[in-house]
């Protein structure tokens, strides 16, 4: 690479929540200090650059070092490493090879199609200029000055964009009915109340590129004829709230929001509304009652919110990701957008890939990509050479998809055919050590805790579902339990008031459909095949495999394991609390789950 000469040096540090948690700010300080120390600041145009989350959170802190045109990426950067990078790479002129990202980083990115997330990780989310420099607010100007509202709606309809919050309702049709609804005051709302366990798509978009959401909302408001917008965002996302607030202020300063935006005769402004952390407030009517400063309870009305929503006025609610798609469609055209994705689901979808997977992070893939490409090519497969068992999509109301359906193309239709839902895009990967009954119990318990408690089926029914599932995992299950679970599921789906209840039995139904044998093993053999349910599992040491390394005995918290060095060990079953520590620590696979 040679010397750095007079090329511009830009050090981009990931400052998403994942990056910050891994110490991004300390890394930035270390870089700044080192640049100063080596006189690079005065000599060259060098600077550190805060960027949003680029998705691969497992490798944080990720740092791009750009010297002129040459860009290399370092993983797991610490302040100490930062100093060394400046010394060896920027002064010495040779990148530090051992700290560079490895093949898995490239594998993680090659199969992705980053459209919505394109700017996340490239631009500083706190700078409106950087967003404008990448073509930002061009689409909003185009919409306001060159297009009629009907044209915009037609364009969105042609693009085939469907709601990314979970329902998958065609966005263009929603906008159209809101535009046609009677009334002069209308609202556009953005749902950033992302509460699914393990989901962080919306959070990363707002943290990494908040202006895209604002621009989408401006276009939507213009198309619908609304002059007021709200972003309902969780207070648990402090960084996202701060960056969104800053972005709104910047947009107002430039007159991109407020009166006569861009100098046109169109007025529009956006207000932030903080959610207090209730999962049910992600439901559209509950979200609206919450914005109205009432308790966030779903409304039982059979009226579309596009006719009567917030304060009884026509309201158009879309998810963060949906709004972030809008500027792209207006900018590049519906045909381009419709060329991505599958027959009925167009465009890309962001998933947060979590659980038992090597490459944890945020991935954006075209709709219709086979599930196994996401999990094995992008995600890198299951760690510790374990076997893949299932993937849970769509958050707590989604279903578990088994290994036999790994070829399933991921889009709205196919997921719902498989008994799951797209949801907002959570993807929790589970390996062979996961008990599916336990998983179902976890998700139903989540809905019990988070349901509003208004309607009988969801409030009482889910509670009894958890009780039945607990019975099964604790060895009290009978055949009757499965029958009751199935009957309850049907009733809850049929009679619940809102979407939360209607989808809450999905984890139970899907696990009953694909992993019935596991339920039966719990009930008839009183065994937990995965060895998770404590009451149904015993740990024993295989005398032949045990080398007597004492690892298990040293890690046993209750001293239940005895044995001499280099002699087979023994677990005292009366003392064992089934904490799995011996199983996790044995390097020879000598601890067996029975």
Chain positions 534 to 573 lying near other proteins, rule: CB under 8 A, are none
Minimum CB–partner distance for residue 347 and other proteins (Å): 27
Of the listed pieces 163-171, 296-304, 363-371, 558-566, which binds other proteins according to CB under 8 A?
A: 296-304
Token pair for residue 19? 């990056």
Choose among 241, 180, 189, 257: nearest CA to 220. 189
Residue 278 engages other proteins in binding (rule: CB under 8 A): yes
Minimum CB–partner distance for residue 480 and other proteins (Å): 8
Minimum CB–partner distance for residue 179 and other proteins (Å): 23
Of the listed pieces 100-108, 253-261, 380-388, 446-454, which binds other proteins according to CB under 8 A?
A: 446-454
- Answer for the pair 69, 4: CB distance below 8 angstroms, yes or no: no
Residue 300 engages other proteins in binding (rule: CB under 8 A): yes
The binder of other proteins chosen from 183, 277, 295, 589 (CB under 8 A) = 295
> Is the CB of 504 or the CB of 561 nearer to other proteins?
504
> Is the CB of 445 or the CB of 555 nearer to other proteins?
445
- DSSP lists the bridge partners of residue 427 as 353, 393
- Answer for the pair 143, 262: CB distance below 8 angstroms, yes or no: no
The binder of other proteins chosen from 267, 449, 567, 572 (CB under 8 A) = 449
Binding to other proteins by CB under 8 A, coded x per residue (else -) over 450-479, reads: xxxxxxxx-xxxxxx--x------------
Minimum CB–partner distance for residue 505 and other proteins (Å): 13
Biggest CA pair distance of the chain: 85
Residue 494 engages other proteins in binding (rule: CB under 8 A): yes
* Interatomic CA distance for residues 522 and 583, integer angstroms: 21
The binder of other proteins chosen from 107, 338, 484, 570 (CB under 8 A) = 484
Residue 444 engages other proteins in binding (rule: CB under 8 A): no
Minimum CB–partner distance for residue 452 and other proteins (Å): 5
The binder of other proteins chosen from 6, 69, 146, 302 (CB under 8 A) = 302
Token pair for residue 323? 């709004």
The binder of other proteins chosen from 72, 248, 280, 523 (CB under 8 A) = 280
- Contacts for 270 with CB less than 8 Å, ≥ 6 apart: 190, 214, 217, 228, 229, 230, 231, 248, 257
Number of residues that bind other proteins (CB under 8 A): 31
Residue 262 engages other proteins in binding (rule: CB under 8 A): no
Residue 293 engages other proteins in binding (rule: CB under 8 A): no
Strands 348-355 and 46-51 turn out to be unpaired
- Cα atoms in the Cβ-side hemisphere of radius 13 Å centred on 325: 31
- Contacts for 85 with CB less than 8 Å, ≥ 6 apart: 31, 63, 65, 74, 77, 96, 99
Minimum CB–partner distance for residue 462 and other proteins (Å): 8
Residue 362 engages other proteins in binding (rule: CB under 8 A): no
Give φ, ψ of 377 to 5 degrees.
-80, -50
CA angle centred on 304, ends 302 and 309, rounded to 5°? 110
- Answer for the pair 480, 416: CB distance below 8 angstroms, yes or no: no
Token pair for residue 538? 């015993």
Whole-Å CA distances, 82 to 11, 48, 75, 78: 10, 12, 11, 6
Minimum CB–partner distance for residue 471 and other proteins (Å): 11
> Is the CB of 416 or the CB of 445 nearer to other proteins?
445
Which DSSP helix (H) or strand (E) runs through 9?
strand 9-14
- Cα atoms in the Cβ-side hemisphere of radius 13 Å centred on 517: 4
> Is the CB of 448 or the CB of 551 nearer to other proteins?
448
- Answer for the pair 249, 211: CB distance below 8 angstroms, yes or no: no
Of the listed pieces 93-101, 226-234, 485-493, 552-560, which binds other proteins according to CB under 8 A?
A: 485-493
Residue 399 engages other proteins in binding (rule: CB under 8 A): no
- DSSP lists the bridge partners of residue 438 as none
CA angle centred on 564, ends 587 and 541, rounded to 5°? 45
> Is the CB of 152 or the CB of 462 nearer to other proteins?
462
> Is the CB of 93 or the CB of 453 nearer to other proteins?
453
The footprint of other proteins (CB under 8 A) covers 278, 280, 295, 300-302, 448-457, 459-464, 467, 484, 487-488, 491, 494-497
């Amino acid at each position: 690479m040679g010397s750095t000469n007079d090329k511009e040096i830009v050090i981009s540090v990931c400052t998403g929540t994942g990056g910050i948690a891994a110490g991004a700010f300390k890394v930035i300080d270390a870089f700044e200090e080192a640049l100063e120390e080596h006189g690079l600041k005065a000599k060259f145009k060098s600077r550190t650059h805060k960027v949003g989350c680029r998705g691969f959170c497992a490798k944080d802190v990720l740092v791009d070092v750009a010297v002129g045109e040459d860009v290399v990426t370092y993983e797991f950067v610490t302040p100490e490493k930062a100093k060394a990078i400046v010394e060896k790479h920027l002064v010495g002129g040779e990148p530090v090879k051992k700290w560079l990202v490895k093949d898995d980083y490239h594998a993680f990115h090659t199969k992705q199609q980053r459209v919505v997330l394109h700017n996340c990780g490239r631009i500083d989310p706190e700078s409106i200029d950087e967003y404008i420099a990448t073509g930002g607010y061009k689409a909003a100007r185009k919409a306001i000055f060159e297009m009629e509202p009907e044209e915009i709606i037609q364009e969105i309809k042609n693009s085939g964009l469907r709601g990314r919050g979970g329902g998958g309702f065609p966005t263009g049709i929603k906008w159209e009915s809101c535009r046609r609804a009677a009334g002069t005051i209308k609202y556009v709302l953005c749902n950033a109340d992302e509460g699914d366990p393990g989901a962080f798509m919306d959070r990363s978009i707002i943290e990494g590129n908040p202006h895209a959401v604002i621009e989408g909302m401006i276009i939507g408001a213009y198309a619908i004829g609304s002059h007021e917008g709200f972003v309902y965002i969780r207070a648990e996302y402090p960084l996202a709230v701060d960056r969104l607030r800053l972005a709104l202020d910047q947009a107002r300063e430039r007159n991109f929001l407020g009166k006569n935006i861009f100098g046109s005769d169109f007025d529009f402004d956006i207000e932030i509304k903080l959610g207090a952390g209730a999962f049910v407030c992600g439901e559209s009517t509950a979200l609206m009652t919450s914005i109205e400063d009432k308790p966030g309870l779903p409304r039982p009305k059979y009226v579309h919110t596009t006719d009567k929503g917030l304060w009884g006025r026509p309201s158009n609610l879309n998810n963060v990701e949906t709004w972030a798609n809008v500027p792209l469609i207006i900018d590049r055209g519906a045909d381009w957008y419709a060329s991505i994705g599958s027959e009925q689901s167009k465009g890309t979808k962001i998933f947060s890939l979590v659980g038992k997977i090597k490459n944890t992070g945020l991935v954006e893939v075209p709709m219709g990509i086979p599930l196994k490409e996401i999990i094995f090519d992008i995600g890198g497969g299951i760690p510790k050479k374990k076997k893949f068992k299932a993937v849970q999509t769509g958050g707590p109301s989604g279903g578990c998809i088994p290994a036999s359906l790994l070829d399933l193309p991921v889009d709205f239709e196919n997921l719902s055919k498989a008994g799951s839902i797209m949801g907002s895009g959570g993807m929790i990967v589970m390996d062979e050590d996961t008990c599916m009954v336990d998983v179902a119990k976890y998700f139903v318990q989540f809905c019990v805790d988070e349901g509003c408690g208004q309607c009988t089926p969801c409030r009482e029914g889910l509670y009894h579902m958890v009780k039945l599932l607990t019975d099964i995992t604790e060895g009290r299950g009978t055949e009757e339990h499965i029958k009751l679970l199935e009957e309850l599921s049907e009733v809850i789906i049929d009679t619940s008031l809102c979407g939360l209840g209607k989808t809450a039995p999905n984890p139970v139904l899907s696990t009953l459909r694909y992993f019935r044998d596991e339920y039966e093993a719990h009930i008839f053999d009183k065994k937990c095949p995965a060895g998770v349910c404590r009451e149904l599992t015993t740990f024993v040491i295989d005398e032949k495999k045990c080398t007597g390394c004492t690892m298990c005995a040293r890690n046993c918290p209750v001293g239940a394991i005895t044995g001499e060095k280099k002699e087979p060990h023994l677990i005292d079953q009366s003392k064992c609390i089934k904490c799995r520590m011996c199983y996790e620590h044995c390097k020879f696979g000598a601890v067996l789950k029975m």
